[in-house]
Amino acid sequence: MSGPSTYTPKNGFTKWMDSRLPILRLVNDSFVDYPTPRNLNYWWTFGAILSFMLVVQIVTGVVLAMNYVPTAAMAFDSVEFIRRDVNWGRIIQSAHAVGASMFFAAVYIHIFRGIYYGSYKAPREILWILGVVIFLLMMATGFLGYVLPWGQMSFWAATVITSFFSAIPLVGDGLVQLIRGGLSIDNATLTRFYSLHYLLPFMIVGVVGLHIWALHVPGNGNPAGVEVKDKKDVLPFHPYYTMKDLFALVVFLLPFAWFMFFAPDALGHPDNYIVADSQVTPLHIVPEWYFMPFYAILRAITFNIGIPFTDIVLINSKLGGVIAMFGAIIVLFFLPWLDSSKVRSGSFRPVFKGFYLLLVISFIGLGWLGSKPADGIYVILAQGFTAYYFGYFLIILPILGKIETTRPLPNSISESVLGPSATREPAAATMQGAE
Amino acid sequence: MTADVKNEPTRRDFLYIATGAVGVVGVGSAAWPLVDQMNPSAAVQALATVEFDLSTVEQGALVLIKWNGLPIFVRHRTPDAIAEAQGTALADLKDPAPDSARVKLGQEQWLIMIANCTHLGCVPEFDTGVFRGGWDCKCHGSQYDSAGRVRSGPAPKNLVLPPYEFLSDTLVKIG
Ligand code: HEM
Ligand code: FES
């Protein structure tokens, strides 16, 4: 895709095919001969891991759907039926439920990789924005899926999250009714959530396709943050990165398998093994761990925002919380234009590194606070971390790039790998594959 | 075509805009049923009323009943609780409403409310919070008083009253 195609069909069939539907050429140029920077580290393997997880979710989901019954009366029992009676159902169900957690773990690493290495900077803005779109679709899919087992947490997560929309002035209440299909979460809600939970993963597949397309036009970024200059800087994707990705995937599968086989419920919540009851809210409702940071931001806004020294409230705390929570994701769309630094990789930005570390700490801190009760010191901490989260994107990044003294960049990728002396002929043998 | 002719709106321009307008209306009216099917169905709307016999609820008690899938608090208040609710100064309230606006005249002992917190919809706990005979939402800490009025926390409004009427002193119709 990037640069002229290097594909030469070798036999009669591939030649015939190439002049009709050049799909083998596309595969070759995208995943075989595709020139890849030679200095990618393991943080660059998560894209492949994520692609794998998407397939896992779709495959396990499609087979779960063969036994799952999306009605308020049957949903809970049908999931238990899958877990107890369906052949292999215990493993398939836990693969899907644990898989969702592993998928999110990988996407958080992937996103924070991008934030550290400046992967969002020109010419990869669209690539980044598509990534944020995928993240939003994943969150929607995860939420919709969590409602399907129709336990207490499913029901109350659905109640709380659909109530977000009631914060919207004027149309809010009508919108909530439209989303729920009634005044409360009920059968109508479950069936539509099932329909959408089935649909969205395929939309994710579509956006992932665009994401990879947008990746292969400028090519991969890399830890040094300097662009590819010549053939010495790249290696063919296969076998160098197919093998590296595969190795990382196997390591990633270890915790996945451990949870799946030995602790399928460790990441979930015991209350979800109580069937949904519209009359009783569990004492302590918490979302899945992967939504915790955003949940903490929602709850951090405990105050109204109004015109100072008057009683006029412009944004009440409920609307404010919802705006802050969505804003925490929306701000990512603007990241390519908020970071004013010309230097792409965080490795060469000494001051940036400190602020980045604080961002990671704030985000993990918010995740922890999301699971705590919303009172006392927890609220104050959540407010501090929320302020830092937004401050990082809206204040620190725009200013820092203008005043920071960065370390000198390497002249090229090969120099960053082999040192300044070694720009001569780095392993001619390895380069033959790239031709 | 000369420049001034070009600037004049022509028959062709009119047809062009008219076609576009019809197209927009057509697409819109084709899309609307696809959206509106999500709104509450006739079956859901048909459940819209329930009758409830109040004689089963003793003074001081609270029961939870179901209306349209929503949990409903039916609270039989004690004279003390009524007096306390009536005595609260409006200035102390986040969403000011006198007690008389929360109940029906002559039936002050009956407080009938939708049991979902106006913040994000959890069912608050009865009588465990700051206000005696009030409600405490464990989800994000909103506090309601003995008239179900929000006093603190992120909830913006008082607990919502469903439409209801007394058919007799002991029979109430909700919806
Ligand atoms: C982006 C990919 C996906 C994610 C993140 C995801 C997430 C989830 C989650 C969190 C649950 C709740 C699991 C539990 O607590 O038991 C769930 C359930 C379910 N999902 Fe998915 N899912 C995805 C794709 C799919 C697909 C493609 C299908 C089917 C076509 C599907 C079908 C189901 C079914 C039938 C259930 C209910 C059974 C159960 O609870 O295990 N999912 N999903
Ligand atoms: S739902 Fe009651 S305080 Fe949030």
Mutation target vs A (from B139, B143, B174; most A CBs, 10 A cutoff) = B139
- Model confidence, pTM: 0.90
Sheet harboring B50-53: ordered strands across? B50-53, B171-174, B164-166
- Residue A429 belongs to a domain: no
Same domain flag for A257 and A124: yes
Question: Would you state the pLDDT for residue A284?
Answer: 84
Question: Would you state the pLDDT for residue B153?
Answer: 86
Same domain flag for A325 and A269: no
How many domains would you assign to chain A? 2
Residues of chain A neighbouring B154 (CB-CB closer than 8 A): 299, 301-302, 317-318, 321
Q: Which residues of A362-383 are buried (b: 16+ CB within 10 A; e: fewer)?
A: bbebbbbbbebebeeebbebbb
Ligand nearest to the CA of A267: 1
Same domain flag for A130 and A255: yes
ipTM of this predicted structure = 0.85
Among A285, A312, A344, identify where a domain stops: A285
Residues of chain A neighbouring B66 (CB-CB closer than 8 A): 278-279
Whether A144 contacts A197, CB under 8 Å: yes
pLDDT, tens digit, for every residue of A202-230? 999 999 999 999 999 999 999 999 999 99
**Domains and their CATH numbers in chain B:** 11-174 (2.102.10.10)
Question: Would you state the pLDDT for residue A432?
Answer: 42
Going from the C-alpha of A349 to that of each of A118, A344, A355, B149, the distances in angstroms are 11, 9, 10, 54
- Residue A259 belongs to a domain: yes
State phi, psi for A209 to the nearest 5 degrees.
-60, -45
Residues of chain A neighbouring B152 (CB-CB closer than 8 A): none
Judged by phi (left if over 0) then psi (alpha if -120 to 50, else beta), residue B103 lies in: beta
- Residue A385 belongs to a domain: yes
User: What confidence category does residue B144 fall into, taking pLDDT thresholds of 50, 70 and 90?
Assistant: very high
Question: Would you state the pLDDT for residue A309?
Answer: 79
Minimal Cα–Cα distance from A318 to chain B, Å? 6
Residue listed under structure tokens 């009253």? B161
Question: Would you state the pLDDT for residue A292?
Answer: 96
Distance from chain centroid for Cα A201: 13
Same domain flag for A279 and A336: no
Distance CA A220, CA A47 (A): 11
Least confident of A302-316, A411-425, B86-100, B127-141: A411-425
pLDDT, tens digit, for every residue of A240-254? 999 999 999 999 999
Q: Give the residue ranges of chain A where pLDDT is below 70.
A: 1-3, 421-435
What CATH number is given to the structural domain containing A272?
1.20.810.10
pLDDT, tens digit, for every residue of B2-44? 555 567 888 999 999 999 999 999 999 999 999 999 999 988 8
Same domain flag for A90 and A189: yes
Same domain flag for A251 and A306: no
Distance CA B135, CA B144 (A): 5
Q: What is the DSSP letter of A181?
A: T
Distance CA A357, CA A363 (A): 10
Same domain flag for A268 and A356: no
- Residue A415 belongs to a domain: no
Same domain flag for A279 and A309: no
Helix (H) or strand (E) holding A196: helix A187-216
Question: Would you state the pLDDT for residue A433?
Answer: 39
Among A285, A316, A337, identify where a domain stops: A285
Domain that holds residue A365: 299-397
For the segment B79-101, the average pLDDT, to the nearest whole number, is 91
Question: What's the distance, Cα to Cα, between the start and end of chain B in Å?
Answer: 68
B76 is catalytic: no
Torsion over CA of A132, A133, A136 and A141, rounded to 10 degrees?
-130
Could you give the angle at which helices A125-147 and A89-117 cross, rounded to 10 degrees?
A: 150
- Residue A184 belongs to a domain: yes
State phi, psi for A423 to the nearest 5 degrees.
-80, 0
Among A260, A285, A310, identify where a domain stops: A285
Share the mean pLDDT of chain B: 91
Half-sphere exposure of A234 (CA within 13 A, CB side): 22
Distance CA A147, CA A189 (A): 9
Ligand nearest to the CA of A161: 2
Residues 6+ apart with CB under 8 A from B78: B59, B60, B109, B133
For the segment B124-139, the average pLDDT, to the nearest whole number, is 91
- Residue A2 belongs to a domain: no
**Out of B66, B132, B140, B157, which one is annotated catalytic?**
B140
Same domain flag for A132 and A181: yes
Q: Reduce the secondary structure of B104-146 to three states and give it as a string.
A: CCCCCCEEEEECCCCCCCCCCEECCCCCCCCEECCCCCCEECC
Same domain flag for A354 and A261: no
- Atom from ligand 2 closest to the CA of residue B141: 3
Same domain flag for A61 and A164: yes
Question: Would you state the pLDDT for residue B115?
Answer: 96
Same domain flag for A183 and A141: yes
- Residue A117 belongs to a domain: yes
